[in-house]
Amino acid sequence: MCVLFENEEVLAVDKPAGIAVIPERRETTPCLLHALEKERGERLFVVHRLDKEVSGILLFARTASMHRHLSLEFENRRVKKTYQALVHGRIREKKGSVDAPIRLFGSGRMGVDREGGKPSLTHWEMELSGENLSLIRVFPVTGRRHQIRVHLYHMGHPIVGDLRYGEKESQKGWPRLMLHAHQLECGLPCGRLLRLESSVPHLFHTFLR
């Protein structure tokens, strides 16, 4: 496991795709939290989560006080998060936003509901565009479950390899969900701004080419 940053109170790792952050329903399935706790011989506190299929920056607190601080930073939307997403279709606009409420529809699937959903906002910027695929930077303002995946699907540009939000037959041929937590900035109690970055997997650019 690649450690991006650590001190006495914080641990930031580069999460690989395909492993859950916390235990799933089947307790025998490995999760990142337990693997790290066993490897390092310490208790860790989950600050935020990434979907099992998503890779990139993941923060853990090593003390209860830091856990409270970081949880409030996320809750109050003071954490700046940047994702990279490879999506279907050619996006011609340079940037945009999706302001669409989201709610749970059942079986773990989220969706846009203008009447009953919770406020959800995502900004995005174009990075590279091919004939049938586009690579974009995504900046979620709120932190709803599956928010980026739902909003990009709602735009008509589902994330490549997303079996939950997209046409299943066309999504099956891809090796993974092409969503990566690329950068993160958050304030620490000492006043320092913690800036983290995880390299975008080469796979993203390979398929775009």
Convert the pLDDT of each residue in 141-161 to its tens digit. Answer: 999 999 999 999 999 999 999
Which is nearest to 189 in space by CA: 61, 66, 64?
A: 66
Give pTM, 2 decimals: 0.94
DSSP string computed for 22-57: S--SSTTS-BHHHHHHHHHTS--EE-----TT-EEE
Q: Residue 162 in contact with residue 177, Cβ under 8 Å? A: yes
Q: Enumerate the domain spans of the chain.
A: 2-208
Residue 29, pLDDT above cutoff 80 = no
Active site residues: 51
Convert the pLDDT of each residue in 56-115 to its tens digit. Answer: 999 999 999 999 999 999 999 999 999 999 999 999 899 999 999 999 998 789 999 999
Q: Residue 83 in contact with residue 198, Cβ under 8 Å? A: no
Q: For domain 2-208, which architecture applies?
A: 2-Layer Sandwich (3.30)
**Local confidence band at 27 (pLDDT 50, 70, 90 cut-offs):** low
**Local confidence band at 196 (pLDDT 50, 70, 90 cut-offs):** very high
